[in-house]
Amino acid sequence: MRINNHTEKKGLAILGSTGSIGTQALDVVSRHPDHFSVEVLTAQNNADLLIKQAAAYKPNTVVIGNENLYDQVFSALDPLDIKVYSGENALTSVVQMESVDMVLTALVGYAGLKPTIKAVEAGKPIALANKETLVVAGQLVTQLAREKGVNILPVDSEHSAIFQCMVGEFHNPIEKLILTASGGPFRGRKREELLAITKDQALKHPNWDMGAKITIDSATLMNKGLEVIEAKWLFGVGLDKIDVVVHPQSIIHSLVQFEDGSIKAQLGLPDMRIPIQFALGYPERLKADFPRFDFMDYPNLTFEKPDMETFQNLRLAYDAIERGGNVPCILNAANEIAVAEFLKDRIGFLQISEVISECLSKVSYISDPSLEDYIETDKETRIKATEII
């Protein structure tokens, strides 16, 4: 990886800097000013926070996705000699800047796909917090990364855990990847108990502090389904080698089982700054003063099977990757629309799965999609999901 000679710091482009992952990534940067410089910050709508971040971290460039907010951001940052752009095209351009050594994709949902592809094409290593990029177009993105010799380093706690367990083991075949899931706020409840669930109840995750969309995905277990698909592409294993186990304490972040029967696990308190820092600093483990895990505080670590009858999104995700083609893209787009409508109180909690299931049966199947096919599938699915709702 190229390091800027004039600073000897790793220049970061943080896409989605005002979200949960983005703000925690900036916390990591603040703790290691000798290791990282911020070259690019981007946000979609949160102009106020983007301006504050830019004033604090002095990036070369910022992008505000919502073009209506451009004037506000420009007038605030122009006196600081910070370049300001807006819109989707700007987002795909700034990741290719010469001064950028690594791109942290922390955008929510489908929006992460195009900028990630452009960054890979430009040869930039990716710290990937946007699992939807690999859910939607995993084959295309991983193939492109191989061709360009680009590393995709996972930021999700589960995939980071697997990656950490595999360091030094890359030549040893994997027998099984075991992704852990907290089970969300409704673990143990049956379908009839979820009929009247409100968004406020669904937004109360027992262990993690995350953005609204990923928190709802965690409550429905769709987040774990998306992670299964992401794991398939990140680690190049078949679906039959990926298991999910519910682990309510969220201390073991995931496990890898090898052919001799040995299992490696990565443990720690549920703090996203740890996997963020590991990805940004890789291959070095940077010192941190984050709170430490103590076994005496967690005398019981428990494990359960996921309930796919109640939480059907996990089953839908397994089915989608098994069918392949553009089906995971359909799954993701339908879920994004359904979750957005649930957060607006327009559909019930259980109807999220119903909308996704109907889209999976009605949107056109493409066995070997191109990038244009993925874009068209995403558009078609969003229209269909909106019609269904």
Q: How confident is the model at residue 342 (pLDDT cuts 50, 70, 90)?
A: very high
pLDDT digits (tens, 9 = 90+) for 187-229: 999 999 999 999 999 998 877 777 889 899 999 999 999 999 9
Q: Which contiguous run of DSSP H or E holds residue 331?
A: helix 327-343
Please, what is the average pLDDT of the chain? 95
Instruction: Tell me the C-alpha distance between 57 and 54, whole Å.
Output: 5
pLDDT at 108: 85
Question: pTM (2 decimals)?
Answer: 0.92
Instruction: Tell me the C-alpha distance between 329 and 335, whole Å.
Output: 10
Which residue do the tokens 């191109």 mark?
370
Is residue 1 over pLDDT 70? no
Per-residue pLDDT, averaged over 144-172, amounts to 96
pLDDT at 3: 44
Bridge partner list, 192: none
φ, ψ for residue 126 (rounded to 5)? Answer: -115, 130
Sign of the Cα torsion 227, 232, 237, 242 reads positive
pLDDT digits (tens, 9 = 90+) for 260-287: 999 999 999 999 999 999 999 999 999 9
Per-residue pLDDT, averaged over 75-100, amounts to 96
Q: How confident is the model at residue 67 (pLDDT cuts 50, 70, 90)?
A: very high
pLDDT at 4: 43
Query: CA angle, corner 308, sides to 305 and 310, nearest 5?
Result: 115
pLDDT at 205: 81
What percentage of the chain exceeds 70 in pLDDT?
Answer: 98
Instruction: Tell me the C-alpha distance between 147 and 18, whole Å.
Output: 32
Per-residue pLDDT, averaged over 290-303, amounts to 96
Strands 174-181 and 252-258: antiparallel
CATH architecture of 10-154: 3-Layer(aba) Sandwich (3.40)
Domain ranges of the chain: 10-154, 159-270+302-323
Find, among 355, 343, 378, 320, the residue nearest to 215 by Cα: 343
Per-residue pLDDT, averaged over 233-237, amounts to 95
Bridge partner list, 256: 177, 264
Is residue 2 over pLDDT 80? no
Is residue 5 over pLDDT 80? no
pLDDT at 211: 81
Instruction: Tell me the C-alpha distance between 375 and 99, whole Å.
Output: 29
pLDDT digits (tens, 9 = 90+) for 45-61: 999 999 999 999 999 99
Q: How confident is the model at residue 341 (pLDDT cuts 50, 70, 90)?
A: very high
**DSSP assignment string, 240-295:** GGEEEEE-TT--EEEEEEETTS-EEEEE--S-THHHHHHHHHTTS-----PPPP-G
Is residue 150 over pLDDT 90? yes
pLDDT at 6: 40
Per-residue pLDDT, averaged over 29-46, amounts to 97
CA atoms lying within 13 Å on the CB side of residue 77: 29
Per-residue pLDDT, averaged over 18-23, amounts to 95
* DSSP SS3 for 63: strand
pLDDT at 118: 97
